[in-house]
Every structure is written in structure tokens, then in C-alpha cells.
Structure 1
Amino acid sequence: MRLSVLIKHLEAYAPASYQEDYDNSGLLIGSPDQEVHAALVALDCTEQIIDEAILQDCNLIITHHPIVFKGLKKITGKTYVERVVLKAIRHNIALYAIHTNLDHVKNGVNGIICERLGLQNLKVLRPKNSLLKKLVTFCPTEYADKVREALFEAGAGHIGNYSDCSFNASGFGTFKGNEDTNAYAGEKGVQHHEPEIRIETVFVVQNERRILLALLESHPYEEVAYDIYALENKLETVGSGMIGWLDQEIDSKEFLRMVKERMDATVIRHTALLPKKIKKVAVCGGSGSFLLNDAIAAGADAFVTADFKYHEFFDAEGKLVIADIGHFESEQFTSDLLIDIIQEKFPNFAIRLTEHNTNPINYFI
């Protein structure tokens, strides 16, 4: 199939606009127009993964972590990143990464952790802002229903668990067309007063083009008046980390044993255990220390994540238990998630899970 078709499906699940500014998710090597016949999925793209793709005759590698993260000024093969890029290009293997945008969706990386830990009543720990916009438009009263329905079908009007959300107010618009117009109402050269409805509705940024097309196609005017405003409101279903509740509260030691087993962790670095039971749990796949204050503010009893530095453990201040299970360990089930996402839409597409463990950290036990 054409690579662009697969990318469109993946980014419908985890839109590229949801990634962090520092990230480099998306198509890293290859053309959206190229045909792909088989894909290899892994957490990281290493030389070993490239060799596996060649051996398995896969001309696409999909990973969580982007191999090209910072700008490359030279590609000489001096570093492992450069060698991966060179080998992928030589063998016509496309590389695609779906990183923080998959972290930020509710059924993404953190959702998998919550599922494995049995957490319920999930909420995003730190919702993202600047992902919402508001459309304001004006149309003849008799066309208001048609325009609203077109906007809703295009994806506008979703607020939390509600759809078809809009605000409407009556008024009148004025216009005077010149000799080149073919106006919906009124006479050329004469100012016209038309009863209109002001329609306001919100939408997520990635749907803007589709919503504007729906507006222009459903609206009767030659020149459609509309305004688009950027909103600072947080999108509660998208963002960093998640928090949820265990079915039953358990003591700290039992909780750590459960986390170690269900997350297949070799070791857990943790703060001092607390006398209180663990019931409310925050999670963040990968490096999550930046969310510690959010977890504390949300009333979490424990925070499961990775990559805490020595001094950052002190910042818990006895308010919760930090459970650092390791970066790879916290994200290792992401590859299975990606395969499920793809096979749900394309059950006959050849997709393989890597046989290699790409964790660069080893433990001497």
C-alpha cells in the first residue's frame, strides 16, 4: 500500500500536531508516495533493527523513538545515528516515528500502562493547551441547520463527552453587491439587510482545513464571513501522563511487587515507602520527572515513570511513592499497541514485531 495511507491512519489516531515542539515525529526517511509491502515495528531504530528489516524484507520501520532527533549536519557514518540513516537509504527502507503524539493521546503509551496496572476512571495528568480553536460564522437563518450539521460532521463541536456543541444568536447582516456579484439575496448596488444566525463552535487544530471546506460548501453566500480564534483552553483528553484509581487500595510493598510483575521490570528504583495505602496512581511512559508536581497536586499516592535523577527523588518530600521502572520498561508495550492500531484498519498488511530488545541499559543482578 502507499505509505501516505498508513501514515494518515496512524496520525488520525495520534495527530502530529499533538507532539511536543522539541520532538521529531513523522516520516524521517522515505517518500509518502512510495509503496510499502511489509513493516517492522520496534521501540527504537538501531543498526540491528535495520538489519532485521533487511532480513525480513520489510521496507518500512515504525518506531516510537525517532532515530533523527536533532539536526544532522553530516552523514558520514561516524555515529550510530548516521549509520542507521545511511543503511536505511541504501536499502530503500522508510523510517517513521510516532513519539510524543502517541504519548499524549488517551489510548496511547500511558493508556497501555494504566491498562496493565488495572487503573480505572482515567484522566490526563497535564492536559495540553493551544490545541483548540473557535470558529464564528454568520449565515441566513434558514440555512443555519444545514451549516451547523456540516460543521459537526466535519469534526467541530466536541467538548469532552458532548458533541454537536455550538452557540447561536440572532441578528442581521448587511451587504451591498457590485455589478459582478451573484448574491444570495438583494439587488446589485442596493444595501441589503438579511436575518442571520451567528454560529460559534470549537474544533481541534488538525481539523481546521476540513471544517473550513465544510463551511464553504454548505454556506449559500458567495463571500462567507467567518472568524477563527486560537484558544488557550486545555484539551482535557490530550496531554502528558495519566492518573487513575486501583480497584482496591494496597500497601506500598505489594504495589511495587505488582508494578514489577505487570510491567516486566527488572528493578524498580523508588522513594521511601509510606505508611498509607496506594489507591490513586499517576503514570508517565518514558522520562516523567517533569510531572512530579502535577502528580502531587492531583493527590496521587504513587507515580510510576522513569529516568528520575538522584536529587529529583528528594522532591517527592514524602507525599507519594516514586516508582522508577526504567525508560524501556515503561514503553516496551508500545510496539504491540502500534501493531494493534495498524491491524485494526489493515488486517492483511504484513507487519512484524521486532525480535530484538533495544534496551541500551543492562542490569547486573
Structure 2
Amino acid sequence: MQSKELIEKLERLAPPEYAESWDNPGLLVGSAKREVHKVYIALDADGEAVDRAVRCGCDMILTHHPLLFSAVKSIRDEDFIGHRLMMMIENRINYFAMHTNFDTAVMADLAADRLKLQNKQPLAMVRETESGLKGIGSTGDLTEEMTLADLAIFVRKAFNLPQVRCYGKPDTKIRRVSMCPGSGKGMDGDVLEAGGQVFITGDVDHHYGIDCVEKGICVIDAGHHGLEHIFVPFMEQWMQENCPEIETVTDGNQSPFFVV
């Protein structure tokens, strides 16, 4: 399959116009005319992912987070990003990213469904689409009321995580949940407007966590990778169903850090 044919399918799944203005999804390295027989799927195009894609003979790397967000003034092997770009170019590997457009089109519902949220609505950046309202994050109701402590365990198991961090009293009763996979810092206003009693997201620092509690919002920090790693298995299955002629390889999808 030509790369442009695959890109057309990917952009139907996550239209580029759904991306936020600061974002940089799409074909970032390579040629739309290049034939694609094997795709490497990862959350990030880090050095290990690029090296493995080369070793596996992949023609394209597909990630959630773009490697490039701003202009690159030089591509040099001494620079860690430049090295990855050179590896892709020298090995004729296309690189395609699906970020906030995927968050809007797919990730919000995908994450909310892991918690079986009912009466879902977008948390922010709402837009009307053929399939209904879409946006960044979701707000919905749990199937039954839980304490914050029990909900934290539920989230940990639903996303297959070793641990989560919580702000708020463990026995707080929770029914309405707001969540934003990735980094949701600064969205507490959206959570309050949506009536969320708890905010499930990643990259929560000390001050933001305690400030949210002061505003009446409990917080479960499940990590940036912790909530978004679901991109990899979803896209692997999507590729198998929509492009069965293309072989897929996925990385280990391991957290970039460990807790001692």
C-alpha cells in the first residue's frame, strides 16, 4: 500500500482539522509515495523505538506524540532528535503522528469506556461531528458510586498500572468523573463546569493537586503514559482490521520510568 493511501485512512480516523493549533500531527518524515509493508506503532518516537523499527525493517513509524513540535534549524547526528531523524531518512522510514486530533476523535471515548462511564460528554474543545459531539477528555457517570480510594484502584486496574497518585480524602464519595488522558493541568475550570467530582489525568504537580482539592475536585494522577498507552493496542487492532495487508510491530509499551 502506498503511504498516501494509508494516510488517507488514518486521517479519516483522526481528521487533522481536529488538532489544536499548537500541535503538529501528520506525515513528519518521508514520502507519501513510498510503499508501506510494515508499520511500527509506539506512543513516542524515542531512540529505542526508532532503532527497533530499523531492525525490524519497518517502512513507517506511527506514534501518538509528534517528535517535532517546532521548526528544526539543523539535523545533526550529535543531537538526539537529529539522530532519530537521520535514522529514519537513511533507512527510508516514513514517520506519522496522530496527537490531539486522535485525542479528540478517539482517545476521549476510548479512555472513558475503560471506566464504563455513562452519559458521556466532551470535557473541552467541543466540536460537532457526524458521530456527535467530540472534544478533549470526557465527563461521565460511574455505573455506581465509589469512594475515591476504590475509584483509584478501579483506574489502576482498568489501565493496567502499578500505581496512581490521589489528592483528596480517601472516603470521598464519587459518582461523576472528568478525565483527560495525557496532561490535563489547567482544565480544572472545565471540570468544575462539567460537574466533575474527580479529575483523572496525568502530570499533576503538588500545587495543582492541592489547589484542585481546595476547589472541591479530587484528583487521580494516573500518569501521562499511564492513560495514553492505550493508543498502541488500539492502533494495532485498527491496522489489522483496516489494513490487513500491512504487518504491524509494537514496542513493549512500557512506562518510561519505574517506581522504587
The separation in 2 between residues aligned to 1:263 and 1:27, in whole angstroms, is 29
2:150 matched residue in structure 1 = 254
1:352 and 2:259 are equivalent in the alignment: no
Runs of 4+ in 1 over 4 A off after TM superposition: none
Q: Which amino acid aligns with 2:185?
A: S
1:13 matched residue in structure 2 = 13
Q: Please, which moves more after superposition, 69-78 or 32-41?
A: 69-78
Cα 1:70–1:159 change in 2 (3 A) is closer
SS class of match (1:348):
coil
| Match 2:200 to one of 301, 304, 326 | 304
On the 8 A contact 1:274/1:321 being kept in 2, the answer is no
SS class of match (1:24):
coil
The separation in 1 between residues aligned to 2:50 and 2:171, in whole angstroms, is 49
The separation in 2 between residues aligned to 1:15 and 1:89, in whole angstroms, is 26
Alignment gaps of 5+ in structure 2: none
How far off its partner does 1:92 sit? 0.6
How far off its partner does 1:248 sit? 0.7
How far off its partner does 1:342 sit? 2.3
1:32 and 2:29 are equivalent in the alignment: no
Q: Which amino acid aligns with 2:220?
A: A
How far off its partner does 1:56 sit? 1.4
RMSD: 1.8
Alignment: residue pair count = 259
1:319 matched residue in structure 2 = 216
Matches for 1:159-308 after TM superposition, within 5 Å: 160=132, 237-273=133-169, 275-308=171-204
Q: Please, which moves more after superposition, 20-29 or 304-313?
A: 304-313
The separation in 2 between residues aligned to 1:279 and 1:49, in whole angstroms, is 39
1:185-217 CA distance string (max 9 Å, x none): xxxxxxxxxxxxxxxxxxxxxxxxxxxxxxxxx
1:71 and 2:75 are equivalent in the alignment: no
On the 8 A contact 1:49/1:356 being kept in 2, the answer is no
Alignment gaps of 5+ in structure 1: 133-157, 161-236
On the 8 A contact 1:10/1:342 being kept in 2, the answer is no
What TM-score comes out, normalization by structure 1 length? 0.67
The separation in 1 between residues aligned to 2:94 and 2:14, in whole angstroms, is 19
What TM-score comes out, normalization by structure 2 length? 0.93
Q: Which amino acid aligns with 2:111?
A: I
SS class of match (1:28):
strand
2:119 matched residue in structure 1 = 121
How far off its partner does 1:275 sit? 4.7
1:135-159 CA distance string (max 9 Å, x none): xxxxxxxxxxxxxxxxxxxxxxx59
The separation in 1 between residues aligned to 2:244 and 2:131, in whole angstroms, is 32
Identity of matched residues, %? 30
